Amino acid sequence: MRVGRDSRLGGALSASILLLSAVTLAAGSVTPSSAHGSVAMAAAESVAAPTLPPRERAVGLVEPADRQPVAFRSPKPAVAAPAGAPAAAAAPLSAVLVGALGIPELVLQAYRSAEAQLATSTPGCHLRTLADEGRTDLLTLGVTPVLAAQLDDPYSLDGMHHWLGNWQLRAAEAAGSRDPDRRALGHREHRRSAAALHEFETRWRHGGAPRLRELADSGAVELLGGPSMHPFQPLLDPRLRTFALREGRADAVRRWGRGTEGIWAPECAFTAGMELDYAAAGVGHFMVDGPALHGDTTCGRPVGDTHVVAFGRDLPVSYRVWSPKSGYPGHSAYRDFHTYDHDTGLKPSRVTGRSVAGPDKAPYEPERAAAAVRSHVEDFVDAVRRRLRSEHARTGSPALVVAAFDTELFGHWWHEGPAWLAGILRALPEAGIRVGTLAGAKRDGYVGDPVDLPDTSWGSGKDWRVWAGDPVRDLVDLNAEVTATALDAVDAAPPGGLRDRVADQILRETMLTVSSDWAFMVSKDSAAQYARDRAHKHAHAVREIADARVHGHHARAADLASGWNQADDLFPDLDARRLQPTGREVRA
C-alpha cells in the first residue's frame, strides 16, 4: 500500500553523491515554503568561512611512512607471456607511477582532493553533522568494493595524510605572498587545510569503514555495495558474474559489519537474467537509468518474476546538476576546477565564463559563491516540487523522484557541491518534501507493477556502446579470452576443502582485467593508453599463473600468484572455493 494518500504529494530525491556513487530520497507533502532560504544560507556559509579547529585541539602533521611507488611490470619472478598471447601482453608496459592498489598517483590525487573537500565543508555535506542533529534516512550512498578497499588501505591513508599536509604547506606559502589576491587565497586555503587535517587525524586515520559504518548504524544513510572490481556485468560469463556479485557483498559484510539490501550496479548496466542473479544473492533493489523505465521513474518496479526492485534515475531533476551545458557546477561564481596558481598548486579563480581562458578568469569570491549556492538550493527544491506535482497529476498517486550523481562531483569537480548538498538535505524537508532512502521508498510502498527491462546502461545512448563498441572491441575479446582461461584453470584444480591461493589470484586478476573502467576510459579517450595497459597487465598475470599451473609447475604458479598478489594487494578474503563450478556447487 502506498503512503500519503491524502492531499499531500509524495516524493523521493535520490542523490548519488559518491567519491563513490549514492542516492537520496525525498517523500512526503509538498507545500510552498520560504523556510529553505535561511537553511540554505546556513549551509552556504561553509563556502565563505571554513572553521579552524581550536588551537588546543589541533593535531600536528605526522610524516607518513616511506613506501616506494609501484611500477607496472611483472612481479618477481618475471616470466614471459605464454606462447600465443597477444603481442600487447608480452610487450614491456610503460612505467607509470602508481600508488595504492595499483591506482595512478594522478587518480589518487583526484580522490584525495575530493575527500579533503568533503571533510572540510562545515556543515557542508558532513553527513555526521546532519546525523548528530537527529536526521535519519538522508540518502542512499553507493560505495563500490574497490573504493571501500582504497579508503581502508594503509598506503592510501598515508598518501592522504601526506597530501593534506602538503596542501597546508602550499597554503602557508601563498599566505606569505605580497600579492593581496594570492595572500587572501593562502589564508583561506590554510584554514580549510587545517580543518581537513584535524578531521582526518581525529576521525579518518583508521580508514573509511568505521565512518561509513557509523553513518549506517545511526540510520542516517543506506549503504549500497556492489560486485567486486566494478565489472560491466552484462558482458560477463554468468559464473564469473555471480562470483563477483557474491564476493562484493561478502566484502561489505566484512568491512561494515552488515550486508546491504541493495547494490549500485556498475554503470547502471543490465541484461535479462541478472534479476535472477540478484534474487539468488539476496539483493533487494538496484539502480537503472530513467530511459530503461521509459522515463516513468515515479516508483520502483519489480523486475520479471522476482521481488528485486529497479529504481530509475529521474533525468530532468538529475540534470539540474549533471548537465554539462546548464548544470549548476558551471555557474560563473563557482571555483574553476581547471585553473591553477602554478607556484602553489592552489585554485585561485572562479569559472567567470565558459569561454574565458584560464589567465583571464576573475579571482574566486567566497561570498559570491555562497550566494550562488543559496540560489541553486532554492532552484533545486522548486524543481523537485514541480516534478512531484506533475507526476502526481499524471499518475494520480504519490510520486518519487530519484536524483543520482557520481560522488566525486561533490567537493572535487564542484568545489561548492558539499554546501549545496547540505543545503538541499535541510531545505527539502522545510519545503514539505520528505527525503529518504531507496530501502525506505520500497518499505513505504513506492513500488509499481513488474517490468521487463531492456539491455541498458547509463552510458552514452543508454546502451552498451561505451563498453562493447568498436573502439573497445579488442578489450571485449580480451575479457572473454581471459575469463575462459581463468575458469578452465580453476576448474582443473582437484576439489578439496583447503584454500587455493593460486586459484584465488587467478580470479582476482581476472576480475581486475574485466573492470568496466578500462573500456570507459578508452571510449572516452581519457588516459586511454593507461587503461589498455592496466587491462593487459592483469590479463598477462592470469595467463602466466594459469600456464604454470596447467603445465604442472605448481611451485612456480604459487610463486607467481604470491608476487602478483603483493603487487595488487587487494581483497585478501576473495576465495575461489566460492566460485560455482560447472555441474556442482562448492561451499567454503
Is the residue at 361 inside a domain? yes
User: What is the count of structural domains for the chain?
Assistant: 2
End-to-end CA distance of the chain: 41
Residue 237 lies in a domain: no
Q: Is there a domain that residue 146 lies in?
A: yes
**CATH number, domain with residue 299:** 3.20.110.10
343 shares its domain with 469: no
Would 238 be classed as within a structural domain? Answer: no
* 47, 111, 268, 496, 540 from 409: Cα distances, Å: 16, 10, 18, 47, 34
Per-residue model confidence (pLDDT) at position 108: 52
Q: d(Cα 512, Cα 506) in Å, to the nearest integer?
A: 10
Q: How many residues does the chain have?
A: 588
- What whole-number distance in Å separates Cα of residue 264 and Cα of residue 270? 12
Copy the grid coordinates of residue 286. Answer: 538496484
* Residues 452, 496 within the same domain: no
Assigned domain for 61 exists: no
Q: Which domain holds residue 573?
A: 464-578
Q: 371 with 414, same domain?
A: yes
Q: Does residue 99 lie within any of the structural domains?
A: no
Query: Do 357 and 474 sit in the same domain of this protein?
Result: no
Is the residue at 195 inside a domain? yes
Cα gap 239→247, rounded to integer Å: 12
Residue finishing a domain among 399, 424, 458: 458
Is there a single domain that holds both residue 411 and residue 365?
A: yes
Catalytic residue list:
267, 406
User: Using an 8 Å Cβ cutoff, are 241 and 272 in contact?
Assistant: no
**Position 582, amino acid:** T
CA separation for the pair 237, 223 (Å, rounded): 27
Residue 101: exposed, middle, or buried by beta-carbon count in 10 A (0-12, 13-18, 19+)? buried
Q: Specify whether 416 is located in the same domain as 503.
A: no
Listed residues 417, 437, 458: the one ending a domain: 458
pLDDT at position 268:
96
Give the CATH number for residue 489: 1.20.1430.10
Query: What was the pLDDT predicted at 112?
Result: 54
For residues 401 and 375, membership in a common domain is answered with yes
Please say which residue of 435, 458, 481 terminates a domain: 458
Do 401 and 498 belong to one domain? no
**Domain identity same for 142 and 164:** yes
The three three-digit cell numbers of residue 37, written as one number = 532560504
Could you tell me which residues come within 8 angstroms of residue 253 by beta carbon, excluding any fewer than 6 positions away?
259
In a domain, 310, yes or no: yes
Same domain, 483 and 521: yes
Q: What is the mean pLDDT of each run of 10 residues along the chain (588 residues)?
A: 30 31 42 35 44 38 38 37 33 34 50 50 63 93 92 91 95 96 96 94 92 94 95 97 97 95 96 98 97 95 98 95 92 96 95 95 97 98 96 93 89 91 94 95 96 97 97 98 97 85 97 97 96 97 97 97 92 93 50
Whether residue 289 contacts residue 457, with contact meaning beta carbons closer than 8 Å, is answered with yes
Q: Are residues 495 and 439 in the same domain?
A: no
The predicted pLDDT at position 406 comes to 85
372 and 510 housed in the same domain: no
Of 441, 302, 445, 449, residue with least CA distance to 12 = 441
Report DSSP letters for 84-121, one per residue: T--HHHHSPPP---B-GGG-BHHHHHHHHHHHHHHHH-
